Amino acid sequence: MNNERILIAGAGPVGLVAAAHLAHGGVPVTVFEQGSGLSEESRASTFHPPTLDMLDALGAAEPLLAQGLKAPAFQYRSKKHGLLAEFDFSAIADATQHPYRVQCEQSKLTRILYDRMRGHPNFDLQFDSAVAGVEQTASGVAVTVERNGHTERHAGRYLIGADGASSTVRRSLGIEFEGFTWPDRLLVVSTPFDFHSVIPGLTAVNYVADPERWYFLLQIPGLWRVMFLVNEDASDERIQTREFAQSLMAGVVPGISNYDIDHITLYKVHQRVAKTFKLGRAFLAGDAAHINNPLGGMGMNGGIHDAVNLASRLVSVWRGDAPESELDRFDKQRRLVTLEYIQKSTIT
Ligand SMILES: Cc1cc2nc3c(=O)[nH]c(=O)nc-3n(C[C@H](O)[C@H](O)[C@H](O)COP(=O)(O)OP(=O)(O)OC[C@H]3O[C@@H](n4cnc5c(N)ncnc54)[C@H](O)[C@@H]3O)c2cc1C
C-alpha cells in the first residue's frame, strides 16, 4: 500500500488551508472534493486578525484583502439609540500583523488558495471525488472514493476529514457529534443598498440590538448582508419569500422599505462538537469537528486555526522532528478551545 501522502476529504477553506500548509512543509497531499469545482457558497464573510496572520504565511492574506474590504473597527449599536460602542482593532496592533477584519466571501479564499497551489509538486486536488468510507491499519488509512460512478480505493499515512458539517469521515469513524440545534433559524438577506448613506458613522461590521428583533449589518464588496434570527412559527418556504424578507428589512432603517434584494438564504443553527478530533490516524477539522451559530464569525476562522494547528504538527512528525504522540495534542488543544471558548461564547 503506497501511503506516502496525507489524504484530505473536502476542498473548503479548512481542507485547502491544511493542504497548502502541508504541501509548503514538504508533505505530499491529495484533496478529494465531491463537487465538480470549488463551492460557490459565500457563507463566511469575516476573517479575524489571527486568521489573517495565518493566511499571510501561505501568501493568501494580501490577495484576500485586495478582493475584500478592510474593517478597522466594528460597532455595537441599538436601533433606538444608535452607536453604543466601537472596538478599534488598533488596540491590538501589538499582537497582530493585521489589526483589522477582512470582509470577504469564503469562496474567494478557496479560489486564492487553489490558484496558488495548483502546479505545486506536493499538491493534488481531485474534483468529482466523494469520500464514501474510511478504513485504518496500524500504519495507514485508506478511503473509498466515488468518482463518475466508479469506486476507487486510495491509501495515505493520515487522513484529515474537512468535509463539512455532515462529514462522511466523521460518520465512517463512528464519532458522535454531540450538541443541539436551535429552534430559531437564521435568515440572511443581501442587498446592494448602501447603508452608509443613511446611517452616519456606520462601520462594515455592526451588531444591532433591539428588544423586538436584533440583527447584524455586514458589508462585503458590492453588498450588505443583513442577518436576522427568525423564531416565527412559519414554514421555511414562507420565510424565504421576498415579502417576508422585505417585512424584516423594513424594520432596519425607519422610513426605508422595498429594498433591492440579491439573495435570501435560510440556515438552521447548530451547536455541536465531535466527541474526539482524532481517531487513530484520522483527524477532524473545521465544520466536520464543530459547528456553532455564525454570529461571531468563529466557524471558518476556528476551522482555519484547526487546520494550521494540525498541519504544523503533521509536518513535524512527517519530518521526524516530533514523535507521533505530538498529534494527540491537536485533539486536546483544539477541542478544549472549541468547548471552552467558541461554544461558550456562541451559546451565551
Ligand atoms: C450564514 C453563515 C455565515 C457565516 N459566517 C461566518 C463568518 O463570517 N466567519 C466564520 O468564521 N464562519 C462563518 N460561517 C461558518 C462557515 O461558513 C463554516 O464554518 C465554514 O464553511 C467551514 O469550512 P469547512 O472547510 O470546514 O467546511 P465547508 O465549507 O462546508 O467545506 C466542506 C467541503 O467538503 C466537501 N465535501 C463534503 N462531503 C464530502 C465528501 N464526502 N467527500 C469529498 N468532499 C466532500 C464539500 O463539497 C465542501 O467543498 C458562516 C456560516 C453561515 C451559515
pLDDT tens-digit readout, 263-288:
999 999 999 999 999 999 999 999 99
140 C-beta closer than 6 A to ligand 1? no
Q: Could you tell me the residue range of the domain that residue 118 belongs to?
A: 6-68+106-176+275-347
> How confident is residue 296, by pLDDT bands cut at 50, 70 and 90?
confident
- State how far the Cα of 39 lies from the Cα of 21, in Å rounded to an integer: 20
pLDDT at 1 over 50: no
The secondary element (H helix, E strand) that includes residue 206 is strand 205-209
Q: Work out the widest C-alpha separation in the chain, in whole angstroms.
A: 68
CATH number at residue 59: 3.50.50.60
Task: Tell me if 15 CB under 6 Å of ligand 1.
Answer: yes
| DSSP-derived secondary structure letter, 200 | T
Residue 23's alpha-carbon distances to 38, 52, 120, 265, 316, in angstroms, are: 19, 19, 8, 35, 13
Asked if 209 and 170 sit in the same domain, the reply is: no
Query: Total domain count for the chain?
Result: 2
From 43, 103, 159, 226, mutation site for ligand 1 pocket: most ligand atoms within 8 A of C-beta: 43
State if residue 117 touches ligand 1 by the CB under 6 angstroms criterion.
Answer: no
pLDDT at 151 over 50: yes
Report how far residue 134's alpha carbon sits from residue 4's, in angstroms, rounded to the nearest whole number.
Answer: 17
Closest atom of ligand 1 to CA, residue 218:
8
**Separation CA 246–CA 63 (nearest Å):** 35
Residue with cell string 493542504: 19
- 120 and 224: one domain? no
Q: Same domain, yes or no, for 134 and 201?
A: no
pTM of the model: 0.97
Choosing from 249, 269, 289, the residue where a domain stops is: 269
